[in-house]
Amino acid sequence: MSRVYNFSAGPAVLPEEVLKEAADEMLDYQGSGQSVMEMSHRSKVYDNIIKEAEKDLRDLLNIPDNYKVLFLQGGASQFFAEVPMNLMKNKKAGYILTGQWAKKAFAEAKIYGEAVELASSADKTFSYIPDCSDLDIPEDLDYVYICENNTIYGTKYKTLPNTKGHILVSDVSSCFLSEPMDVTKYGVVYGGVQKNIGPAGVVIAIIREDLITDDVLPGTPTMLKWKTQADADSLYNTPPCYNIYICGKVFKWIKKMGGLSAMKEHNEKKAKILYDFLDESKLFMGTVVKEDRSLMNVPFVCNIEDKEAKDAMEAKFIKEAAAAGFVNLKGHRTVGGMRASIYNAMPIEGVEKLVEFMKKFEKENA
Ligand SMILES: *Cc1c(COP(=O)(O)O)cnc(C)c1O
């Protein structure tokens, strides 16, 4: 068996240790005689799995008692609707547009009420994070919404916006558990787990208790009402049991690695190797302003003026990289170029070897 270095933006690489453990437990989970896939979500065994997952996540992020943790379905995209459905009491919310995912959330919110654009980096193809220290924020907004790490464009907020007292809602899908985070600064934090935590099919939401109410928009489906899910401890209906179990294993893996501060150090070290190379390379270059670079998603292009020659060189690179065992380096279909997603589970040698390969490619194609 040989495993590749997988730079996919999501679903993405998972810790090998976790996969092996899951394989070992596949037929008989801890003497239960069943796979986790086969057991009732109402069983004692499963109850322990989901409770322990929640406890480990709470430990990792220091989540205060007045925040609920929910394990939900529907992907991050469904949450684009759940946020306004559950929070738009005044039918007005502010959005900061820093890429595709923020734009999609913004468009979704417009179905339910007035969505105000507070700031945007669309003018420079989302290659930076706008200054959000003193935005013009209308008083009557229900919340301010951001996408904290922009998976496609490779930017990340290094400081949170000044919301001037409004509730902050953040999509952290692609930076979840990549570094410490102060949950108390947010009303709602949520993310699809398939980027940095587990298999696709789970959204984790951390929501301040006072924001979980019966006062939701008329017509909100029972399933999409946070109160329904919170009252039932994420077991209102059958949850994605197996996927939550894997998330739980990843939480334990992160704890074993030293927690989120250690994770941050590990991620900074990895990202630096790649960014340092992009800064010195003549053939490759990053596409994002330095101050706002993501630790997780690193987009880059070939520095060739002629569009046709550039496209050809990039296609050649992606093809040869894949043949050498570095897969999924193609940039998002909407932006082109390349993107290396280097989530928690990407080992440092994966990035070192990729850079070695890029150096070799550059020499051969000079
Ligand atoms: C991937 C991604 C999404 C979409 O996730 P789905 O689970 O496919 O709906 C939303 N936001 C961000 C930041 C993402 O990276």
CATH assignment of the domain containing 351? 3.90.1150.10
Residue range(s) defining the domain that contains residue 319: 259-364
336 dihedral zone (left: phi>0; alpha: psi -120 to 50; beta): left
Cβ–ligand 1 contact at 74 (below 6 Å): no
Does any domain span residue 227?
A: yes
Whether 191 is covered by a domain: the verdict is yes
Looking up residue 232, the CATH number of its domain turns out to be 3.40.640.10
Instruction: Tell me the residue type at 110.
Output: K
Residue 335 has pLDDT above 90, yes or no: no
Q: In degrees, to the nearest 5, what angle opens at C-alpha 179 toward C-alphas 175 and 180?
A: 120
Secondary structure E strands in the chain? 5-6, 67-72, 92-97, 114-120, 144-147, 149-150, 155-156, 168-171, 188-192, 203-208, 284-286, 297-302, 326-327, 338-341
> HSE (CB half, 13 Å, CA atoms) of 309?
7
Same domain, 231 and 289: no
Q: Tokens at residue 53, please? A: 């997952």
Share of the chain above pLDDT 90, in %: 98
In one-letter notation, the amino acid at residue 198 is: G
pLDDT for residue 334: 80
Look at residues 231, 257, 283 and tell me which one is the last residue of a structural domain. 257
253 is in an annotated binding site: no
Q: Is the distance from CB of 190 to CB of 171 less than 8 angstroms?
A: yes
Residues 97-154: tens digit of each pLDDT = 999 999 999 999 999 999 999 999 999 999 999 999 999 999 999 999 999 999 999 9
Q: Is the peptide bond before 11 cis (omega within 30 degrees of 0)?
A: yes
- Residue nearest (by alpha carbon) to ligand 1 atom 12: 173
Q: Is 72 in the pocket of ligand 1 (CB under 6 A)?
A: no
In a domain, 2, yes or no: no
Question: Cα of 73 to ligand 1 centre, how many Å?
Answer: 12
Domain assignment of residue 4, yes or no: no
From 225, 242, 257, give the residue that closes a domain: 257
Q: What is the dihedral of CA 208, 157, 175, 41, to 10 degrees?
A: 20
Q: Is the CB of 151 under 6 A from ligand 1?
A: yes
Cα diameter, the chain? 63
Alpha carbon nearest to ligand 1 atom 5, residue: 76
DSSP secondary structure letter of residue 235:
-
Mark whether 233 is an active-site residue: no
- Would you say 6 is a known binding-site residue? no
Angle of CA points 112, 117, 119, to nearest 5°: 150
- Helix (H) or strand (E) run with residue 228 in it: helix 226-231
- Radius of gyration, alpha carbons of the chain: 21
Q: How many helices (H) and strands (E) does the chain have?
A: 9, 14
Judgement on whether residues 179 and 273 belong to the same structural domain of the protein: no
Beta-carbon contacts of 209 under 8 Å, excluding residues fewer than 6 positions away, are: 66, 67, 68
From 223, 238, 257, give the residue that closes a domain.
257
CB 60 within 8 A of CB 260: yes
Both 301 and 288 in a single domain?
yes
Assess if residue 215 is contained within a domain. Answer: yes
Q: Which residue minimizes the CA distance to atom 8 of ligand 1?
A: 75
333: confidence class by pLDDT, cuts 50, 70, 90: confident
| Alpha carbon nearest to ligand 1 atom 13, residue | 173
pLDDT tens column, 17-63 = 999 999 999 999 999 999 999 999 999 999 999 999 999 999 999 99
Could you tell me if 174 and 270 lie in one domain?
A: no
Query: Whose CA is closest to atom 4 on ligand 1?
Result: 76
251 and 354 together in one domain? no
CB distance 162 to 138 below 8 Å: no
CA distances in angstroms from 344 to 38, 186, 203, listed in the order given: 29, 23, 18
- Asked about 195 being catalytic, the answer comes back as yes
Instruction: Look at ligand 1, atom 3, and give the residue with the nearest C-alpha.
Output: 76
Q: Is the same domain home to 252 and 285?
A: no
In short, whether 77's Cβ falls inside 6 Å of ligand 1 is yes
Strand runs labelled E in 13-136: 67-72, 92-97, 114-120
d(CA 347, ligand 1 centre) in Å = 23
Q: Which of 171, 225, 249, 330 is catalytic?
A: 171
Per annotation, catalytic residue among 195, 249, 252, 270: 195
Shared-domain flag, residues 186 and 270: no
226 labeled part of a ligand binding site = no
pLDDT tens, position by position, 261-320: 999 999 999 999 999 999 999 999 999 999 999 999 999 999 999 999 999 999 999 999
Catalytic residue of the set 68, 92, 101, 270: 101
Judge whether residue 1 has pLDDT over 80.
no
139 and 100 housed in the same domain: yes
Q: What is the pLDDT averaged over residues 65-89?
A: 97
Looking at the structure, do residues 268 and 244 belong to the same domain, yes or no?
Answer: no
Overall number of domains in the chain: 2
Q: Write down the pTM of the prediction.
A: 0.98
* Ligand 1 pocket: which of 100, 173, 194 to mutate (most atoms within 8 A of CB): 173
Residue 11 forms part of a structural domain: no
For residues 189 and 64, membership in a common domain is answered with yes
Cα–Cα distance between 46 and 234 in angstroms, integer? Answer: 13
Tell me how far apart the alpha carbons of residues 348 and 268 are, in angstroms, rounded to a whole number. Answer: 10
- The reported pLDDT for the residue numbered 366 is 84
Residues 283 and 194 in one domain: no
Q: Is residue 9 part of a domain?
A: no
249, 268: one domain: no
171 is catalytic: yes
Say yes or no: CB of residue 174 within 6 Å of ligand 1. Answer: yes
Residue 28 main-chain phi, psi, to 5 deg: -145, 100
- Does residue 34 form part of some domain? yes
Question: Is 125 known to sit in a ligand binding site?
Answer: no
Q: How many A from CA of 214 to the centre of ligand 1?
A: 27
Pocket test for ligand 1, best of 129, 147, 174 (most atoms within 8 A of CB): 174
Q: What SS3 class is residue 183?
A: helix
